[in-house]
Amino acid sequence: MFMTPKVIYGGNWRVVFVHHLREGIFMRILWLCNAPLPAVAKRFGDTGSTASWLTGISNELRKEKECELCIVFPQSTLREDVRIRKDGIYYIGLYKERIDTAEYSHKFEEKLKRCLDEWKADVIHIFGTEYIHSLEMVNASGREAKTVISIQGLISLCAMYYNGGISNADRVRPVWHKNAFSSLALEQKEFARRGKSEIQAVKGVQHIIGRTDWDYACVKRINPNCTYHKCNETMREAFYHEKWDVKNVRRHSIFISQGSYPIKGLHYMIRALTIIKKKYQDCTVTVAGSNEFINGKDKTPYGRYIERLIARYHLEDNIRFLGYHSEKNMVSRLLESHVHVLCSNIENSPNSVGEAMLVGTPTVAGLVGGIAALMEHGTEGFLYQHNAPYMLAYYVQRIFENDELAMNISKAGRKKAEALYNPVNNREVLIKIYQEIMNEATGKDRRQK
């Protein structure tokens, strides 16, 4: 029997937690995420796209009657802490003036401590290490055995590859952005700075959840003594219910899920497009995700760079930046696209590839990070040397010119994805990991007493 919060609703979904006894709850989980999930995102003026990939597994955990979930996240929109209960999940949006800073906040650490005292979590699950609040939570928890970090990307590694494929002259070119001069080189330094807190966070926990050889190798370099648990991710529900067919696509169309900063490698795609266009002049590239970097008034250094490349190669009519997509619109975009491309400098196991494979859109991906764990080259998709745009162009054209090959890759890729991203299996694995962490933490507490 545990002390469990009861929710009293107020105006604008504001709630207050009042403790009461409730029977049957054997596991209380607290998540720390980088942003609000779509279910409550509008309350914070957010699209929910940043954390939308967590919707799948959070919905699965809701099905566990003996498991209770609280999702905590920093937010800078409302100058107060906000508590919400919706669809059986508790949400706490903690106000933080700056989220993307590398500066440690003891004040935010204290807020997290109060959340932990209030919630009495059996397991504290931190999603990602890209931001300083992950380290703040590790410290707030007292570096307890019941704290686990899920590896998303690793910003300390991303910093090393941030500007791959971009000349030194373009890296240091100054751009006026956000009322100050910036450059790609300065952005890379900021990534490296944030990576220092990531390393501290990974060193500060006993348990790590990952899913690829790449993230295993990386975290074991940082924290050789950590306990590594493997658990695949669960995608958003809509991607499980649609099937791509080459008969229904816009011929010679390429889809990229995001390209707003150098790591995503859009500059490689542009160079590949110059080759593809020689044979397929009607080829189009559609880029989803944030488009403010290039369409807004205050373009980023990378936006300016991409703008110059497009102009240099006269590709203005071949590339479209369409901004963030809803879950439904993303599925529609994949269904109509001839090829999905991932051209990043570094990745772990990107959800964009998982979503494309679930739908069945043939994928061409750079062989970086953990990508090799997601598909078999030549049967489930194509892998290429990430900094060789001519190889990217080659594999895209192979799909363009052979519908039978495209359909075979689609079917094989979807079969692989259905196994990797099986919601029931992944929920069961995650619950087992939570139970192992709980048992170990409980045993450690008893030994200390």
Question: Do residue 247 and residue 208 come from a single domain?
Answer: no
How far from the centroid of its chain's Cα atoms is residue 118's Cα?
28
- Six token digits for residue 42: 């509008």
Token pair 């207050």 is at which residue? 16
What type of residue sits at position 274?
A: T
Q: What is the pLDDT of residues 280-317, one digit of tens each?
A: 999 999 999 988 899 878 899 999 999 999 999 999 99
Q: 225 with 301, same domain?
A: no
| Tally of domains within the chain | 2
| 259 phi/psi in degrees, rounded to 5 | -160, 30
Q: What pLDDT is stored for residue 442 in this prediction?
A: 78
Lowest mean pLDDT among 50-59, 204-213, 374-383: 50-59
Q: What is the pLDDT of residue 427?
A: 95
Confidence of residue 22 (pLDDT cuts 50, 70, 90): very low
What residues contact residue 351 under an 8 Å CB cut-off, 6+ apart?
53, 233, 235
If asked whether residues 244 and 185 sit together in one domain, one would say no
Residue 236 near residue 355 (C-beta atoms within 8 A): yes
Percent of the chain scored above 70 by pLDDT?
A: 92
Q: Name the 3-class secondary structure at 23.
A: coil
pLDDT value of residue 1: 31
pLDDT single digits (tens) 173-217: 999 998 899 999 999 999 999 999 999 999 999 999 999 999 999
The per-residue pLDDT for range 231-246, each reduced to its tens digit, is: 999 999 999 999 999 9
Token pair recorded at residue 104: 């440690």
Q: Domain check: are 206 and 298 in the same one? A: no
Decide if 172 contacts 148 (C-beta within 8 A): no
| pLDDT at 18 > cutoff 60 | no
Domain span holding position 345: 237-420
Q: What is the chain's alpha carbon radius of gyration, rounded to the nearest angstrom? A: 22
CA–CA dist 175, 129 (Å, integer): 28
51 pLDDT band, cuts 50/70/90, is: confident
Q: Are residues 169 and 256 in the same domain?
A: no
Question: Both 263 and 412 in a single domain?
Answer: yes
Check if the beta carbon of residue 52 is closer than 8 Å to that of residue 236.
yes
The residues, any chain, with a CB within 8 Å of residue 318's CB and separated by 6 or more, are: 273, 277, 283, 284, 285
Burial of 256 (0-12, 13-18, 19+ CB in 10 A): buried
Q: What is the pLDDT of residues 30-44, one digit of tens each?
A: 999 999 999 999 899
Domain CATH code at residue 362? 3.40.50.2000
- What pLDDT was estimated at residue 50? 67
In whole angstroms, what is the distance from residue 168 CA to residue 111 CA? 42
Residue 25 has pLDDT above 60, yes or no: no
Tens digit of each residue's pLDDT (9 = 90 or more) over 323-372: 988 899 999 999 999 999 999 999 999 999 999 999 999 999 999 999 99
DSSP 117: H
For residues 110 and 204, membership in a common domain is answered with: yes
Map tokens 């751009």 to a residue.
Answer: 175
The tokens for 257 are 């899920």
The answer to whether residues 151 and 216 belong to one domain is yes
Q: How far is residue 45's CA from residue 194's CA, in Å, rounded to a whole number?
A: 25
Whether residues 379 and 364 fall in one domain? yes
* Distance of alpha carbon 441 from alpha carbon 447, whole angstroms: 10
Model confidence pLDDT, tens digit, residues 124-178? 999 999 999 999 999 999 988 899 999 999 999 999 999 999 999 999 999 999 8
pLDDT of amino acid 272: 98
Q: Give the H or E element holding residue 416.
A: helix 403-420
pTM: 0.91
Q: What is each CA distance from 159 to 53, 143, 170, 209, 327, in whole angstroms?
A: 23, 26, 17, 22, 29
**What average pLDDT does the segment 14-36 reach?**
67
Lowest mean pLDDT among 62-71, 204-213, 369-378: 62-71
Name which of 82, 2, 1 is nearest 40 in CA terms. Answer: 82
Mean pLDDT, the chain, as a whole number?
91
Pair 413, 432 in one domain: no
Instruction: List the beta bridge partners of residue 150.
Output: 127, 209
Q: Is 104 helix (H, G, I), strand (E, B) or coil?
A: coil
How many angstroms separate the CA atoms of 445 and 449, rounded? 6
Same domain, 68 and 195: yes
Same domain, 229 and 294: no
Beta-sheet strands, E only, within 174-297? 175-177, 180-182, 207-210, 227-230, 250-256, 284-288
